[in-house]
Amino acid sequence: MTRLIELTLNGRTRVDAVADNLLLLDYLREVVGLTGTKTGCDGGECGACTVLIDDRPRLSCLTLAANAKGRRVDTVESLGHDGRLSAVQRGFHEKLGAQCGYCTPGFIMASAGLLRRNPRPTENDIREALGSNICRCTGYVKIIEAVQYAAELNAAGVAP
Ligand code: FES
Ligand code: FES
pLDDT at residue 124 in the model: 98
95-145 tens-digit pLDDT = 999 999 999 999 999 999 999 999 999 999 999 999 999 999 988 999 999
| Cα Rg of the chain (Å, integer) | 15
pLDDT at 63: 98
What integer pLDDT is reported at residue 139 of this predicted model? 86
Quick: pLDDT tens for 76-87: 999 999 999 999
Tell me the pTM.
0.97
* 40: confidence class by pLDDT, cuts 50, 70, 90: very high
Q: Is 96 in the pocket of ligand 2 (CB under 6 A)?
A: no
Ligand 2, atom 4, residue with closest C-alpha:
135
44 Cα: distance to centroid of ligand 1 (angstroms): 4
pLDDT tens for 45-89 read: 999 999 999 999 999 999 999 999 999 999 999 999 999 999 999
